[in-house]
């Protein structure tokens, strides 16, 4: 990565959107650009779905309209997040090469007419896409308006898992690189089971749907392969751009609860800036907490460096069963949560609400109702705030707590055959994060095996798949004086999905000082009562404390009489274990105790808000900024001193943050 690309260089906090001018006539473009100026928009993503406009017929390019819009935006001082345009192939390409269409696990094709209808391993798609990328990169590579390259769009959103013949060929090649010999593959997948042994590489197929459950090792490797295959596609587009342009290159990630297709830990190093798309998911128990988690995860993937919120929504989306509008002020508050948690830019999908197509009921900065609308006024208010936060850009978030997160564990936890379908990986992650959130603590999300030396407390929720050295990083750090909380289902299998024997939690077992003999999940709706008075659900296990102190045990249920929460002295530190799914209040109480013992504190003291207050500090060479976001219906007081940036007032000692309000104090 050259220095020019080392960071996404922008004057302050970027404010912008996806813009799809191809859906509108040029008269509308004039109004759009005038209103963008009014709202304070300074970064616009264009050409994201441009292919069929730029290349109406194979090899015939027409850049007229794109040149026009690029030049108009540039003349207005708006910088470009320029799409390569490859996200959705045009109809002529599909007609010429029907084999680019992706295949579902049941062997049926998915057709043109939606989007992203391409197999990540299709040679014909790759050839045509790279020809387009070269044409776009050569045309605009040194255009002064290009601030950032936007490769494809949300790679793997719909097409990550393709089971076609091209995917089979690529999967075999990937497996040969990974295992070298067919014997090693048979060993890793445990193919001795059910007569699945392979003798030739060509016998191996993608894990298409079977009558019984599929080989879990094969399924897990297919997830890894599929993530790598799309990364390879990203790299091939990025390489062409880097050939002819010095502008930074990225693609928009989907660090969000409902998409698990890519292992973003392995993608991060190829991005010049990490960019994320985040939408509130109202199918979750607490979408606001998930938003904070996703922002922290994005910062984790960015290794602490500032990142860009490439898309979110001003109001409702269109793709959930019930698409809720945001309450007045919610969009502004949520946008500033992203900034508090490390974003140096706030962008939306999209600029002007579509009137046709699948997304016509998706909110936008400029709604169907026009500028005489609450949504538009809030957009303009946010744009003005973004302009006042310029000095925040480049600062970094401070955290004393780390939470270990793993896409591989997420995948392995979904194995078709497992102890309980009521236990999900994210449920455990969100429960732990939610308890820390309610305490107002800032959390860094880290990859398994990451250095933990800067933290006081480490949480390892449900890390089902773990390599020995990844566990050792945690247990050695505890031995050196750290405090960790490990929760159930952690350390169950190794990287090949092979069970760690001798008592569950495998490589964590000695440090935890417990021995788990048997999992004993319970049905949803069953309450488990603990000796501490806490209520738990869904999970228990028959275990004994070997060296650990029992903090709470099960009073009832299939594991009655055995430990549910333990604490073990390990070297100079303490390893806590939670062997059940605590109710939120009890989880919060447990983490309050552990955080207190570890000496972890919120970014500042506060009063009120009932666990719905976010307190985050961003620090840099020029100073520090305390963000206080009050999602509650009551006002909150917090300790703070300095200049408040939204009101322009000086604060001495304490600040009042109104219900639903945000305050940012330059300390
Ligand atoms: C994604 C896509 C956008 C749009 C939005 C709608 O983020 O990248 O093109 O479809 O979803 O929420």
SS (H, E, C) 3-63: HHHCCCCCCCCEEEEECCHHHCCHHHHHHHHHHHHHHCCCEEEECCCCHHHHCCECCECCC
Convert the pLDDT of each residue in 625-640 to its tens digit. 999 999 999 999 999 9
227 CB contacts (<8 Å, ≥6 apart)? 156, 160, 261, 262, 263, 266, 267, 407
pLDDT band at 1 (very low <50, low <70, confident <90, very high): very low
Q: Which residue of 154, 158, 159, 257 sits with most ligand 1 atoms within 8 Å of its CB, as the best mutation to test the pocket? A: 154
The torsion angle over the Cα atoms of residues 303, 304, 308 and 314, rounded to 10 degrees, is 120
Q: Is residue 410 in contact with ligand 1, taking CB distance under 6 Å?
A: no
Which residue, judged by its Cα, is nearest atom 3 of ligand 1? 349
| Nearest to 83, CA basis, from 360, 347, 386 | 347
Q: Is residue 19 in contact with ligand 1, taking CB distance under 6 Å?
A: no
DSSP code of residue 215: P
Convert the pLDDT of each residue in 632-661 to its tens digit. 999 999 999 999 999 999 999 999 999 999
Q: What is the pLDDT of residue 4?
A: 39
CA distance 155 to 270: 14
Convert the pLDDT of each residue in 403-461 to its tens digit. 999 999 999 999 999 999 999 999 999 999 999 999 999 999 999 999 999 999 999 99
Which residue, judged by its Cα, is nearest atom 4 of ligand 1? 349
pLDDT band at 621 (very low <50, low <70, confident <90, very high): confident
pLDDT at 2 over 70: no
Cα(350) to ligand 1 centroid in Å equals: 8
- Which atom belonging to ligand 1 lies closest to the Cα atom of 252? 8
| Active-site residue, selected from the candidate residues 311, 378, 400, 614 | 311
CA distance to 386, 440, 509, 515, 517, per residue, from 559 (Å) = 53, 33, 19, 13, 11
Q: Is residue 317 in contact with ligand 1, taking CB distance under 6 Å?
A: yes
Q: What is the mean pLDDT of residues 57-67?
A: 97
Convert the pLDDT of each residue in 80-94 to its tens digit. 999 999 999 999 999
Q: Is residue 307 in contact with ligand 1, taking CB distance under 6 Å?
A: no
Share of the chain above pLDDT 90, in %: 98
Q: Is residue 311 in contact with ligand 1, taking CB distance under 6 Å?
A: yes
Q: What is the pLDDT of residue 279?
A: 98
Convert the pLDDT of each residue in 113-138 to its tens digit. 999 999 999 999 999 999 999 999 99
Q: What is the mean pLDDT of residues 481-502?
A: 98
Q: What is the mean pLDDT of residues 345-374?
A: 98
pLDDT at 292 over 90: yes
Which residue, judged by its Cα, is nearest atom 2 of ligand 1? 154
Strands (E), 301-392: 307-311, 343-348
Which has more confidence, 282 or 11? Answer: 282
State yes or no: is 416 an active-site residue.
no
Which residue, judged by its Cα, is nearest atom 7 of ligand 1? 277
State yes or no: is 311 an active-site residue.
yes
The token pair that represents 509 in the structure block:
């077992």
Is residue 453 packed enough to be buried (19+ CB in 10 Å), middle (13-18) or exposed (0-12)? exposed
DSSP code of residue 246: -
Q: What is the pLDDT of residue 7?
A: 52
- Which atom belonging to ligand 1 lies closest to the Cα atom of 277? 7
350 upstream amide cis, omega within 30 of 0: yes
pLDDT band at 8 (very low <50, low <70, confident <90, very high): low
Q: What is the pLDDT of residue 391?
A: 93
Convert the pLDDT of each residue in 561-617 to its tens digit. 999 999 999 999 999 999 999 999 999 999 999 999 999 999 999 999 999 999 999
């Amino acid at each position: 990565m050259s220095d020019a690309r080392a960071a996404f260089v922008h004057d302050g906090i970027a404010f912008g959107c996806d813009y799809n001018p191809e859906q509108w006539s040029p008269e509308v473009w004039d109004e759009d650009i005038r209103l963008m100026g009014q709202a304070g928009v300074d970064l616009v993503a264009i050409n994201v779905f441009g292919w069929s406009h730029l290349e109406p017929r194979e090899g015939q390019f027409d850049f007229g309209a794109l040149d026009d819009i690029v030049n108009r935006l540039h003349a207005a001082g708006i910088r470009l997040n320029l799409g390569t345009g490859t996200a959705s192939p045009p109809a002529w390409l599909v007609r010429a090469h029907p084999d680019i269409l992706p295949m579902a696990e049941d062997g049926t094709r998915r057709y043109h007419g939606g989007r992203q209808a391409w197999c990540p391993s299709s040679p014909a798609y790759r050839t045509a896409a790279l020809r387009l990328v070269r044409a776009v990169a050569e045309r605009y590579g040194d255009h002064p308006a290009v601030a950032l390259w936007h490769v494809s769009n949300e790679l793997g959103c719909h097409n990550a898992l393709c089971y076609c013949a091209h995917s089979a060929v690529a999967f075999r090649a990937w497996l040969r690189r990974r295992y070298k010999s067919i014997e090693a593959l048979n060993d890793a997948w445990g193919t001795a089971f059910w007569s699945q042994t392979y003798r030739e590489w060509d016998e191996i197929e993608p894990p298409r749907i079977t009558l019984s459950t599929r080989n879990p090792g094969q399924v897990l490797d297919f997830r890894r392969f599929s993530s790598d295959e799309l990364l390879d596609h990203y790299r091939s587009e990025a390489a062409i751009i880097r050939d002819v342009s010095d502008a930074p290159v990225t693609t928009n990630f989907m660090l969000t609860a409902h998409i698990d297709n890519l292992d973003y830990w392995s993608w991060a190093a190829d991005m010049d800036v990490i960019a994320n798309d985040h939408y509130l998911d109202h199918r979750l128990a607490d979408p606001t907490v998930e938003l904070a988690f996703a922002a922290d995860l994005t910062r984790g993937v960015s290794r602490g460096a500032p990142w860009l919120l490439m898309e979110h929504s001003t109001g409702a989306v269109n793709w959930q069963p019930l698409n809720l509008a945001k309450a007045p002020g919610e969009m502004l508050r949520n946008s500033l949560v992203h900034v508090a948690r490390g974003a140096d830019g706030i962008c939306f999908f999209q600029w002007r609400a579509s009137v046709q197509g699948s997304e016509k009921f998706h909110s936008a900065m400029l709604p169907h109702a026009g500028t005489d609308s609450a949504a538009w006024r809030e957009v303009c208010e946010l744009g003005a705030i973004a302009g006042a936060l310029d000095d925040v850009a480049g600062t970094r978030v401070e955290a004393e707590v780390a939470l270990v997160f793993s896409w591989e564990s997420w995948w392995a936890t979904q194995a078709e055959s497992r102890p309980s379908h009521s236990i999900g990986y994210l449920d455990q992650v969100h429960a732990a994060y939610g308890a820390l959130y309610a305490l107002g603590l800032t959390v860094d999300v880290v990859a398994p095996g990451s250095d933990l030396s800067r933290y006081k407390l480490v949480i390892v929720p449900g890390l089902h798949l773990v390599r020995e050295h990844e566990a050792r990083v945690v247990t050695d750090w505890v031995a050196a004086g750290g405090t960790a909380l490990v929760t159930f289902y952690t350390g169950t299998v190794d990287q090949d999905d092979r069970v760690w024997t001798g008592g569950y939690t495998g490589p964590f077992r000695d440090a935890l000082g417990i021995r788990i003999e048997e999992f004993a999940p319970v049905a949803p709706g069953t309450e488990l009562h603990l000796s501490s008075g806490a209520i738990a659900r869904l999970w228990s296990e028959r275990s004994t404390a070997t060296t650990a102190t029992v903090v709470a045990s099960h009073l009832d249920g299939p594991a009655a009489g055995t430990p549910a929460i333990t604490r073990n002295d390990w070297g100079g530190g303490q390893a806590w274990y939670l062997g059940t799914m605590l109710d939120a209040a009890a989880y919060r109480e447990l983490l309050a105790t552990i955080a207190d013992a570890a000496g972890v504190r919120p970014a500042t003291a506060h009063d009120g808000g009932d666990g719905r207050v976010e307190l985050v500090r961003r620090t840099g060479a020029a100073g520090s900024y305390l963000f206080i976001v009050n999602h509650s219906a009551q006002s909150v007081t917090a300790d703070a001193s300095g200049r408040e940036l939204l009101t322009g007032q000086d604060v001495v000692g304490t600040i009042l943050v109104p219900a639903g309000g945000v305050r940012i104090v330059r300390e």
